[in-house]
Amino acid sequence: MRELFELCGSDPHVLFSPYCWRVRLALQHKGLTFSSRPLNFTDKAPLACSGQTLVPVLRDGEQVVHDSVAIFAYLDRAYPEHPLLGDGVAATRARLLEKVVFQSLRMPLLKILVPRVHAVITEADQAYFRSTREKALGMSLEAFADPQAGEQALRQALQPLETWLTEQPYLDGEAPAGSDYLIAGLLFWAWCLGTQPWGEGTAVDQWFQRLLTRYEAQYGPVQRAL
């Protein structure tokens, strides 16, 4: 039995965590089936088996793994066909890419998505989200959120990927792999929250659409928040 513990809104079909999307895309890459265990932010008890409080958590038979990059590494060990990260230097480079690009895209996206996250979660989660995020950001959600500035910053941060993706269809070359999913998880975050803050028809957009099409061909349509 394979189970993915992941974050959901008040509608359990709206799954909007970038880290959980990475894992969904990785499972699709490996051709593995799984059942979803959607959880609200405040629904922590089911995560006790992982010894920490964040999603994603993958339970695969007796194995329980948390943290998206650790889950990629686990999947490569347990299911070596169709590597996600690969070994040695390749795996290290993918982790480096994750740090560099993820850091540059996360803040602009957060500026865009904070109001949308707040709108799709339960009342109890709204209070939790506000207090934890305001503490982390050092300001109110209202002071932080700025979708227009976020979109401008995001488009600038996407520029290196835009150039890269005009030269090849996927970040990892002719076929998608770990780097694609580590980054695309962030765009699925926005997509599921009902927005597409990157330019339509750009190389990044075409890449995202290719990944979405592959994913939906295997697991069905992605539920987007209204």
Sheet holding 57-60, edge to edge: 35-39, 2-7, 57-60, 63-66
User: Which listed residue (54, 90, 107, 110) binds ligand GSH by CB under 6 A?
Assistant: 54
In whole angstroms, the minimum distance from the beta carbon of 70 to ligand GSH comes to 8
* Identity of the residue, 41 or 203, whose beta carbon is nearer to ligand GSH in the bound complex: 41
* Three-state secondary structure of 96-145: HHHHHHHHHHHHHHHHHHHHHHHHHCCHHHHHHHHHHHHHHHCCCHHHHC
Closest CA to 180 of 104, 79, 94, 96: 94
Closest CA to 12 of 33, 45, 43: 43
**Contact string 103-132 vs ligand GSH (x = CB under 6 A):** -----------------------------x
- 44 in Cβ contact with 12 (< 8 Å): no
Torsion of CA 28, 50, 91, 170, to 10 degrees: 30
191 interacts with ligand GSH by CB under 6 A: no
Using the contact rule CB under 6 A, the part of the chain among 54-62, 72-80, 116-124, 213-221 near ligand GSH is: 54-62
Name the strand (E) or helix (H) holding 95: helix 88-120
3-state DSSP assignment of residue 69: helix
User: Which listed residue (56, 176, 178, 197) binds ligand GSH by CB under 6 A?
Assistant: 56
- 121 in Cβ contact with 167 (< 8 Å): no
Residue 45: what residue type?
Answer: A
In whole angstroms, the minimum distance from the beta carbon of 111 to ligand GSH comes to 16
User: Which listed residue (5, 19, 181, 208) binds ligand GSH by CB under 6 A?
Assistant: 19
Residue 119 token pair: 């709108």
17 interacts with ligand GSH by CB under 6 A: yes
Number of chain residues interacting with ligand GSH (CB under 6 A): 13
Using the contact rule CB under 6 A, the part of the chain among 62-70, 108-116, 171-179, 208-216 near ligand GSH is: 62-70
* Identity of the residue, 39 or 177, whose beta carbon is nearer to ligand GSH in the bound complex: 39
Q: How far apart are CA 51 and CA 16, in angstroms?
A: 23
5 interacts with ligand GSH by CB under 6 A: no
User: Which listed residue (55, 85, 145, 153) binds ligand GSH by CB under 6 A?
Assistant: 55
Using the contact rule CB under 6 A, the part of the chain among 17-25, 75-83, 87-95, 134-142 near ligand GSH is: 17-25
68 interacts with ligand GSH by CB under 6 A: yes
Q: Which residues bind ligand GSH (CB under 6 A)?
A: 7, 17-19, 41, 53-56, 67-69, 132
